Structure 1
């Protein structure tokens, strides 16, 4: 269950829900499979998968939720090809070109007929809610998907005020300084081997490097020409590696072997739920420490105004 990505949000004035109240709210928005004519559906599912029945796990103030998203995959090219075929047949039969409204109606008809036969894709997204620090992290590869999960949480709770986590120093500025000023790097920070560099003006090209020496002459020359870092691979406290993005998104999380070995030593009696909770407890401990250090390195957290309900 180890997270691969993390989009972070600050929670403002969260409703004081007990564990039982939270469970009741989640049950009302539990996932159910797509119906024949539905294009997509999103709902809460057991974090432990088929082996579990709980829709949330709470350990020492850390809540784990999981959402399932199902959608039917109906390529636009398939619909277009069938519409063109039917339109040509109808035009030949009636001896006139179809009007735009008629083609649109034909398209809607084809979509409704083909949708129940389309392939279904199921995706899972995990949400970690640190109720003590009032911080939410969503394990999703894109911010758009993370926002979908937050929308589901708002529907579940009635309302929820959150803003993307923000820091006083922008990640771009800090990452560029870490690259250009090695002596100013935090002691617990180690550079990885991936970077993305963008020009500050004019040239819109993006330079990406993988498996490169970030302290090498080539990268330093590019930085001296005025480019800034918008993605940077880091290791924090030798415990977790990640790629930090300019919007504070954390991608490509990899936990150190020592952390995974520690988790494996926890007795779980072959119980998937106990295994999940043991991994979650250790993962959140490592991530909490890493996030606190990142915020500190980025000048502390900014204080955006809480959004309206």
Structure 2
């Protein structure tokens, strides 16, 4: 297995927690998928991938852990296109300019409408 994102830390004080105890602490927050209205979530995964059972892997006084961050991908270009279309429709229907505050509210509405349908991206660290 090759690592794309490996961070190694050398601690200045002894690390007195056993791998099993650390596993129990990390197990309080396992990784999960984003719900329909969440922008991102994070949690711990087995460092050995699908074959791993424990959330820690200890070898020769080294302990490996893996954090998974999942976030919804919301392209600004798509949000801005829908915002421009909705504002032009509103200005045409009501015959007035949309103010800055109202524009922000419309953008928030569009963002919340699109959030449940947005793709998710996972990053392992």
TM-score by length of 1: 0.38
Deviations 1:28-54, CA, capped at 9 Å, x for gaps: 121011111111122110122222221
What is the Cα deviation at residue 5 of structure 1? 5.0
Match of 1:251 in 2: none
Runs ≥4 residues deviating over 3 A: 4-10, 12-15
Please state if 1:30 is matched with 2:33: no
Alignment of 1:111 with 2:111, yes or no, is yes
User: Partner of 2:2 in structure 1?
Assistant: 2
Q: Which runs of 5+ in 2 are unaligned?
A: none
- CA RMSD in angstroms, aligned pairs only: 1.8
1:80-139 per-residue CA deviation (whole Å, 9 max, x = no partner) reads 0001111111112221111101000110110111011111112222xxxxxxxxxxxxxx
Unaligned 5+ segments in structure 1 are 126-309
Once the two structures are TM-superposed, the CA of residue 18 in structure 1 deviates from its matched residue by 2.3
Question: Which secondary structure does the structure 2 equivalent of 1:3 belong to?
Answer: coil
Written as runs of structure 1 = structure 2, the 5 A alignment for 1:65-144 is 65-125=65-125
* Rg (Cα) greater in structure: 1
Number of aligned residues: 125
Q: Secondary structure, in 3 states, of the residue corresponding to 2:84? A: helix
TM-score, length of structure 2 as denominator length: 0.88
- Alignment match, 1:52: 52
